[in-house]
Every structure is written in C-alpha cells, then in structure tokens.
Amino acid sequence: MGNPALSTEGLLAYCRPGFEPDLAAELSHHAGALGLPVYAKTERGSAFVMLLGAPRETLAESIRLEQLIFARQKYALIDELTDLDIADRVSPVIDALGGKGRYGELSVETPDSDAARPLAGLAKSFGNALRPALRKRGLLTDKPNAKLPQLHVIFLSNRHLLLASSTENDRSPWPMGIPRLKQDSRAPSRSAMKLDEAILCLMTPAERLNLIAAGMQAADLGAAPGGWSWVLAKNQLHVSAIDNGPMSPDALATGLIEHIRADGFHWQPQRPIDWMVCDMVETPSKVAKRMAQWFANGWCRNAIFNLKLPMKKRWEETALCLDLFQSQCGRPVLIRARQLYHDREEITVFVHALK
C-alpha cells in the first residue's frame, strides 16, 4: 500500500506504448532546465512515465501539457497503491487522499497498454463503488464541477493503482488523452484522420475559425493518395497536391484538388499561399529544413507537417529538428508539436507565422 514515507508523488504522463523512453527524456529535459532534482520511472510498453522526486504542485505547475510533445495526458501524481486487497480497494484510496482536497469529477481509467487495457471493465465498476464513498466524505461534489481538480484513479493491475489529479486548464479534454475521431468512409486514406486530429488538437477553436476558411489556397507536399488534400478540400480550401504518385479519384472528384506531379522538395508556389501541409517520408532534418525555407521565403502563413522518427533517440532528434526549424524559419512563429494518437513513428507540427 502507499507509504507516505516513501512518497511516490510527482508527475504522471501517458504516451503511445513504446515511446516511454522518449517521454521520459523529454520530461527529464524540462525538469533539468528548471533545476528540479527529479528522476523518471517507467517501463517499456506501459504507456506512462512517472517523474518523481519533487512536490507534485511544483512539477504540475512548471511542466505544462501544452509544451510536451510525447505526452497524451498529464496529471499530478498523488500516490501509488500496491498489493491491494481486492475485497476492499475503496478504503485505501480514501486513506491515501487523507481527507484532503475536494474534487469536481472522478475518472477511473487505465493507461493505453496491452497489460492495462483489459482492466477497463474493472475501472468502470470501481468508479461506481468509489464515487458514493468519496461523496460521503465530502471529497467529491455531487454534480461535476470543472472548476475543481479532477481525481484520477489509474488501474495498472487489479491490485495496483495510481492516484492523480488534474486541472481543467492543463489536461487533455479527452479520456486518456485520446480523441475519438470517426473515420469518414469517403476519405481516400486513413492518413486523413491524422490531419483531422492535428487540426483538432494542435489548433485552438479560435485559430480553426480564423485560419481555415473557404477559398484559401493550400499546398500538400507528398499528397498521394490524397487523404490530407481531401481534408483540406472538405474545409473548402483549394489544394495543389504535389506527388509523383497517383491521387485517388475520390480526392480529385472534390473539384478543389489539382494534382501536380513534382518533387515536394523543389516545388514552390508562384505566390504566397495560406497553408502548406507535408507528409513526405524523408529524414526529419531534411523535412525541417525545407519547412523552414517555406516560412523564411514567406511562401505560406500556416503549416502542418510530420517529422518521421524511425530512429531510437526520438526525443533528441525531435528537439534537434525543431531547433533547426526555428533557427532557419527567419520570422517569429508559433510552433506546437505533438505525437498525435494517429501518429505512429512520427510527430506532427503546427506552425503559424506571427508576422
């Protein structure tokens, strides 16, 4: 059971299974820059990383979800409860909370790992048992209240769980940080969901409203078979689809996509355009440099591009490529990068030119 003397409090973040070393390196980098003497604890395939050794408030406030690339979700870690008696898992949770705090919502969940996913049914029934017990002690409001912290109970096995909390302005709005997007059967490729997710997760509602509008001009580098072009056309943008490969007839049937057989590393628009998106499979540094050229030359105001990361040290490569982009883009830009749920060995970057 959780032992306050051996406190496990700190920070907890979810990631894509297999990317724990990258998230651990990223979290350690940020903590190191802040001079926090913390260490990362994780297991490959577990889909989460704990950052331990500093008070959770300090960590939660100084490392925010929006600055993280490999984290899908981020919580303040309250405690770790092990060797639980399956006959009563409610009392240890109540004890661990120590009568402190008042929560506006309870979420009982699992990380997105092979080992923990089958515990989803248990998580649901445990939530039904815990909720009234928390309310009885005044630890949980009767009705959901987003202004108060949310309590998270995370099942790692039927005898092992983590307790954590989050605040409304520093957590993903989606359970486990995974947006549930419905695949549109008309989309020419599954990749279409990557761009849909990027627009949803990397842009604010105001940015979506102001930066994406009917009649805008876009270029899609590495466009075939046309999923991303199709998403842009769905938003009524005119698209130059650059690829030597064939485009799907469904994409071309939108009437808004012009297929141009050319090399995406050489093609450039004749005049500045609103959007450039790029999903070319190439070394990330080569892509980052070309993307920077687009901004340095003022060829586009906004971009969404992928950096493919087939190498081992993916955090280091990511940091290197984003530094490279920033140093070469020649203008003030807003950059947001994230490994999206639909990203496999890659991350997605949104860039908006500020001037």
Active-site positions? 308
**In sequence order, what are the residues at sequence separation of 6 or more whose Cβ sits closer than 8 angstroms to the Cβ of residue 174?**
180
Mapping DSSP to helix (H, G, I), strand (E, B) and coil, where does residue 68 land? Answer: coil
Among 70, 228, 341, 350, interactor with ligand SAM by CB under 6 A: 228
Q: Answer yes or no whether residue 247 interacts with ligand SAM by CB under 6 A.
A: no
Among 139, 224, 276, 340, interactor with ligand SAM by CB under 6 A: 224
Q: How many residues bind ligand SAM (CB under 6 A)?
A: 22
Q: Answer yes or no whether residue 84 interacts with ligand SAM by CB under 6 A.
A: no
The smaller minimum CB distance to ligand SAM, of residues 103 and 230, is found at 230
**Rounded CA separation 43/84 (Å):** 21
3-state secondary structure 265-297: CCCCCCCCEEEEEECCCCCHHHHHHHHHHHHHC
Containing 338, the helix (H) or strand (E) segment is strand 333-338
Mapping DSSP to helix (H, G, I), strand (E, B) and coil, where does residue 196 land? Answer: helix
**Rounded CA separation 196/247 (Å):** 19
Among 10, 92, 222, 284, interactor with ligand SAM by CB under 6 A: 222
Stretch that binds ligand SAM, among 41-49, 137-145, 232-240, 273-281 (CB under 6 A): 273-281
Q: Spell 112-148 as b/e; 16+ CB within 10 A means b.
A: bbeebeebeebbeebeeebbeebeeeebbbeeeeeeb
Q: Answer yes or no whether residue 191 interacts with ligand SAM by CB under 6 A.
A: yes
User: Which residue, judged by CB position, is nearest to ligand SAM in the bound state?
Assistant: 227
Stretch that binds ligand SAM, among 60-68, 162-170, 177-185, 219-227 (CB under 6 A): 219-227
The smaller minimum CB distance to ligand SAM, of residues 82 and 248, is found at 248
Mapping DSSP to helix (H, G, I), strand (E, B) and coil, where does residue 94 land? Answer: helix
Among 245, 249, 272, 332, interactor with ligand SAM by CB under 6 A: 245
DSSP state for residue 118 in the 8-state scheme: G
Among 265, 316, 326, 330, interactor with ligand SAM by CB under 6 A: 265
**Rounded CA separation 141/298 (Å):** 52
Q: Answer yes or no whether residue 253 interacts with ligand SAM by CB under 6 A.
A: no
Site of tokens 């939530």? 127
The smaller minimum CB distance to ligand SAM, of residues 54 and 187, is found at 187
Residues found near ligand SAM in the complex (CB under 6 A): 188-189, 191-192, 222-228, 242-245, 263-265, 279-282
